[in-house]
Structure 1
Amino acid sequence: MILTKRNEQRRFFRFAIVGAIGAVVDFGLFNLLSAVLHVDTVVSSVISFVAAVLNNFLWNRYWTYPDSRSKSVSTQIIQFAAINVIGLLIRTPLFAFLESATVPVFEKMLPSNFFFSATFLGHNLSLATAILVVMMWNFFANRLWTYNDVKSD
């Protein structure tokens, strides 16, 4: 298994930190678009995802996998983007499903004068769950394809 090796554990830790930074980009842009600018939530989710992917590629290329240089930047970004498109195909229906399930639950559970609205909480819980699922896909797929030129010793 990849994560049994110390270097891979360090890479996963860095990948997770990059993912956390990407999540800030993702959540920040998502909430700006959906809550402030009133863009449809699924559209906001896709736009924020693309911004986070670009952010994450740069951090992963130069910090998580600085020893991955046998491939050109263009090759790696195409591979990284392809894996993330699959991630988007996982994330979008998962987000839409979770959103439709969580918002009504929060509407029933929370008082109407609660600090955060049921919609806001439902959207963000759905997005957080989708991000965690896709992060696992992204790490393993990118490690095995995009950054397969890095030794795992």
Structure 2
Amino acid sequence: MTSAIETRPSLVQRLRGLSLEAIGFAVIGASGVVVNFALFWILNNGFGLASLRSNIAATLVAIATNYLGYRYWLYKDRDAASRKREITLFLLFSGIGMLIETGTLGFTQYVLGLDTPFEKLGGKFLGLVVATVFRFISYRTWVFKAMPELEDPEVVQEAELLLAAEDSRSLAN
């Protein structure tokens, strides 16, 4: 009688994987933040575009660069069977994150009256922090889904038997 092998990783392994994922998310996110803040500053202070419009334009460019990093580096091993679904969900959750960020900036500027360039950056930063937590949870849960694991012991046992039979055939030849 063959015992089924546990395919589910331990809690420590899952936490280690999550922390490595969070670090990768932070690296890509940091590059997006640089793009976002630099473009915001240039559009708002260099070209005189209104702060909310500058924020939306800068965030859209950062969303595009972040998608490339997430899809082709951090989540390259995740299920990409339905790219249309993935991109749609990515844009949906990124858009919600953009609304969180822009809403926070608008609140700090128009309700609290914080209107200097550095106060605007502070409002933008606060919104970005809240939006980043939302995006991390959304992306890993719904957009870049992990490949399904085999958890059925019967399926695992059958696969092991097939592999053992294949090994014995190759040894016989």
Flag whether TM exceeds 0.5 (same fold): yes
Match among 40, 49, 63 for residue 59 of structure 2: 49
Distance of aligned partners of 1:151 and 1:27 in 2 relative to their CA distance in 1, 3 Å threshold? farther
Alpha-carbon separation, structure 2, partners of 1:84 and 1:42? 16
Candidates 89, 111, 114, aligned match of 1:103: 114
What's 2:125 paired with? 128
Equivalent residue, structure 2, for 1:8: 18
Structure 1 runs of 4+ with >2 Å offset? 69-75, 99-104, 149-152
Aligned length: 137
> How far apart, CA to CA, are the structure 1 residues paired with 2:113 and 2:20?
34
Deviation at 1:92, TM superposition (A): 1.6
Tell me whether 1:33 sits opposite 2:33 in the alignment: no
Q: 1:89 offset after TM fit, Å? A: 2.1
CA shift, 1:150, in A, is 4.2
Distance 1:52 1:150 in 2: 27
SS at match of 1:103: coil
| Deviation for aligned residue 1:151 | 6.3
Larger radius of gyration, structure 1 or 2?
A: 2
- Supply the distance in 1 between the matched residues of 2:129 and 2:45 (Cα, whole angstroms): 22
Whole-Å separation in 2 of the counterparts to 1:150 and 1:132: 29
Deviates more, 1:8-17 or 1:36-45: 8-17
- Identify the residue that residue 138 of structure 2 maps to in structure 1: 141
Equivalent residue for 1:17, pick from 3, 12, 27: 27
Uncovered stretches (5+) of structure 2, i.e. residues with no partner? 1-10, 150-173
CA contact (8 A) 1:65 1:150 kept: no
Is the Cα–Cα contact under 8 Å of residues 103 and 122 in structure 1 kept in the other structure?
yes
Q: What CA deviation, in whole Å up to 9, does each residue of 1:104-147 have, x standing for no partner?
A: 6xxxxxxxxxxxxxx11111111111111100000001111001
